[in-house]
Amino acid sequence: MHQHLDSLHKKYLASLKRENRQVLVVQLGILISFFVFWEVAARQRWIDPLLFSMPSRIWNLLVTRVSDGSLFTHASVTMFETLFGFMLGTGIGTLLAAILWWSRFISKVLDPYLVVLNSMPKVALGPILIVGLGPGFTSIIAMGALVSVVITTMVVFTAFREVDSNYLKVMNTFGASKKQTFRYVIFPASLPTIISTLKVNVGLSWVGVIVGEFLVSKQGLGYLIIYGFQVFNFTLVLMSLLTIAILATIMYKIVEALEQKLLKQY
Amino acid sequence: MATLQLQDVSLGYLTKREATLALESITFSVEDGEFLSILGPSGCGKTTLLSIIAGLLTPTTGQVTLGNQPINATSNIGYMLQQDYLFPWRTIEDNITLGLKIKGVYSDFTKMTALNWLTQLGLADKKDLFPNQLSGGMRQRVALVRMLATDPAMMLLDEPFSALDYQTKLKLEDLVFQTLKREKKTAILVTHDIAEAIAMSDRVILLSPRPGRIHRIFNIPNDIAEALPFQARQHKDFNDQFQSIWKEMESLASTS
C-alpha cells in the first residue's frame, strides 16, 4: 500500500512538473514568435519600419547605448526618481493614514477631500507642480509620489480601521496607550495591506515619473521616449520602453520577495 | 475582605436610534480567591458586565471598586477572551511578554516568571514558535499565560472555552481551575454553559435579560466547588444543581 502511495505521489509530482514546463514553453514561444514576426514584418515592409522599427535595430541601439554608458545614466536617473517617489508616496500615505486613525474627527472632516483627490487624475497636476517646485528632479519625484499617496492613504486607513476589535480589547485590558496600541497591534496587523499597496505603488510611481519626465526633464527614460518621438527615432522610443519594462518588472519582483520575507507568519 | 464590589451598577447604551438599558442595578461582591460565574441567556449583558469590571466601560450609574480602589483601565486585571487572540506576527515568547512591555515592567525577572508559567502549562518548548503553529487548546493556554504573566489581582474569563472542542475544553477547564486555585486568584467566568458554571465556580449569578438584572444567586455546595471540574461533573449532587439552575433559566426564557 505504502509503495503504491509513493508511486502515486511521484506520478503526481511529475505531472505537476510537466504542466509547469508546458506553460514555460508556451510563454517563451509567444515571446520569441512575437519578436520574429515583428522582425519579418518590418523587413518585408508589411509594417513601416520607420514607425515600428524592428527588434534587430532596437538590439543594436541597446548595445551601443549600453557600451557608451548613456543608457545607464538615463536609466539610473529614472530609477532613482521612481524609487524615491515610490517610497515617499507609500511613506507619506501610511503616515497620513496613521493621522486619520488617530483622530476620528480629522478623518471625518477630510473624508470628502480624499474622495475628490482620489478621483482626480494626479498627472493633470503636473504643470502646477513644475511651476511650484521648479523644472527638475523635485517635480518629477513629487509627481511619482503624488500618484500613489492618496490611494495609499485610503487603503491603509481602511486596513487600520478594520483590525479586529478583540485585539484592541486585549491591548486595553493591559492599559495600553494609543501609541502602544498603534505600534504593537494596528501597524503590524496592517502590514500585509501596506506591502500589497507597495506592489501597486511600484507601477503607479513609474507612471508619475515617466509623465514628469515627458514634461520637464533633460535626462531619464521618459526624456528618451519624448526625444525619440520628436526626432522621429522610434527605435529609441521602443528601446526605452523595453528598458522600462525590464526595470519595472525587476522592481516588482524585489517588492514581492520583500513581501514573502516580511509576511512569513501572517 | 471583599476584593471586588459592584454597587448598584447600571449601564445605558446610546445609539442613533435609541438609548437602551443594558444593565440595571447590579450589586454583588466577590471575595478574595473566590471563583464566581455569571450565567445567562444571550443578550443579558454578561460580556458588558465583564467589560465594566475590567474598567473598559464606565457604568452610567453605580460604582465598581477593587480592594476599595475604584476600577479604571489601568487596574491590574487579566482578561481572557472567547478566542486566544494571540498576535500572529509575534512568537509565543513575544506574545506572553507583551503585557509586561506595555505596563513597563519588562525585566529579566518578569520575563523569567512569564517563561516559568509557560513551563508550568507544558509549553516550554513552544516559546520560539508562532501562534499558527499551535493547536487551539495550546493557543488558549498561551493566552492564559499572557494574562498570568502580568500577575493580575483578578481574572476575568469571557467564555474562554467556548471555541474549543469538547475534550480540549474539559482538560483546559481543569488546568485553568487548578492554576487559579493554586495561585489563589479571584476569578469571574462568564458563560452560557450551565454545567461549566457549576463545575468551576463557588457561586453562580444568574442574569435575566433586557435589561440585565441579577435574577438569582446560587451557592454551589463545597464538595462540588472544591473538586476539579472534571470530577465535579461526576459528583452525585451535580445533576440536582444542574436541574435547579436549568429550571430557573427556563422560567426566564418563558417570561421574556
A208-243 pLDDT, tens per residue?
999 999 988 788 999 999 999 999 899 999 999 999
Once rounded to an integer, what is the mean pLDDT over residues B26-32? Answer: 86
Mutation target to probe the A interface, by most A beta carbons within 10 A, among B89, B144, B155 is B89
Residue A125 exposed, middle or buried by CB count within 10 Å (0-12, 13-18, 19+)? middle
Interatomic CA distance for residues A16 and A18, integer angstroms: 5
For residue B211, whether the previous peptide bond is cis, meaning omega lies within 30 degrees of 0, is: yes
Mutation target to probe the B interface, by most B beta carbons within 10 A, among A163, A168, A169, A170 is A170
What confidence score (pLDDT) does residue B256 get?
Answer: 54
Burial A42-51 (b: 16+ CB within 10 A, else e): beeeeeebee
Mutation target to probe the B interface, by most B beta carbons within 10 A, among A164, A169, A173, A180 is A173
Give per-10-residue mean pLDDT for chain A (266 aa): 85 93 96 94 90 91 91 92 91 94 93 91 87 87 91 93 91 89 93 88 89 87 92 91 92 89 79
Contact A171 B74 (CB under 8 A): no
ipTM of the complex in this document: 0.84
What confidence score (pLDDT) does residue A88 get?
Answer: 93
Interatomic CA distance for residues A133 and A125, integer angstroms: 12
Once rounded to an integer, what is the mean pLDDT over residues B204-222? Answer: 84
What confidence score (pLDDT) does residue A238 get?
Answer: 93
Contact B79 A170 (CB under 8 A): yes
CB B155 within 8 A of CB B180: yes
What confidence score (pLDDT) does residue B171 get?
Answer: 84
Contact A265 B130 (CB under 8 A): yes
Chain A's closest residue to B89, CA to CA, is: A265
Beta bridge partners of B5: B29, B65
Contact B79 A169 (CB under 8 A): yes
Chain A's closest residue to B148, CA to CA, is: A174
What confidence score (pLDDT) does residue B1 get?
Answer: 42
Chain B's closest residue to A185, CA to CA, is: B87
Residue B6 exposed, middle or buried by CB count within 10 Å (0-12, 13-18, 19+)? buried
Q: Determine the distance from the C-alpha atom of residue A51 to the mean position of all C-alpha atoms in its chain, rounded to a whole number.
A: 28
Does residue B240 carry a pLDDT above 70? Answer: yes
Contact A175 B74 (CB under 8 A): yes
Residue B40's pLDDT band (cuts 50, 70, 90) = confident
CA within 13 Å, CB half, A236: 18
Q: Is B113 helix (H, G, I), strand (E, B) or coil?
A: helix
What confidence score (pLDDT) does residue A198 get?
Answer: 87
What confidence score (pLDDT) does residue A41 get?
Answer: 94
Structure confidence by residue, pLDDT tens digits, B101-153: 988 888 888 888 888 888 888 888 888 889 888 888 888 889 888 988 888 88
Top-confidence residue, A110 or B232? A110
Q: Which residues of A touch B140 (CB under 8 A)?
A: none
pTM of the model: 0.83
Mean pLDDT across chain B: 84
Q: Which residues of B touch A171 (CB under 8 A)?
A: 102
Q: Which of A174, A189, A266 sits opposite B102 (nearest CB)?
A: A174
What confidence score (pLDDT) does residue B73 get?
Answer: 67
